[in-house]
Amino acid sequence: MKFTVYFDGSCDSNKIGRTGLGVAMYKDGKLVKKVSEYIGLGTNNTAEYHAAIRAIEEVRKAGVDSATIIGDSELVIKQLKGEYKTKKEHLKSLRDKALELASPIKDIKFKWVPREENQLANELAQKAVFG
């Protein structure tokens, strides 16, 4: 079985605003779960991290030991892979939470894709913020 989980976060402003997350989980290429959730006030980067965390939680709930987590936030993906340093404290705590949640999963990969390849998760995140 191949599990692929797309995530996206959305914010209604470039500073602090209403935020939401979207997650689309696929098993062997078939959509098996969609999540669209309002998460309160925050920044786009915090929304992206909350979406990544939710994607990892969904993998754990499914009880699988191999998954690819895919997002269009270069910052979040590269920080999770250790390719970028995480300088902001509030993002460090979110990164650490994501990595801690991911640690029991035997084979987990983080992959960046352009926004055009993350449409469903983006739509779900937008729906959570804007209705």
Specify the 3-state DSSP secondary structure of 76. Answer: helix
What pTM value is reported for the model? 0.96
In whole angstroms, how far apart are CA 32 and each of 25, 71, 98?
Answer: 6, 18, 22
Determine the 3-state secondary structure of 70 from DSSP: strand
Query: What is the model's pLDDT at position 10?
Result: 96
3-130 to CATH, choices 3.20.20.150, 3.40.50.300, 3.40.50.720, 3.30.420.10? 3.30.420.10
Sequence ranges of the domains in the chain: 3-130
Q: What are phi and psi of 78, to 5 degrees?
A: -70, -30
Q: Is 78's pLDDT higher than 70?
A: yes
pLDDT of residue 122: 98
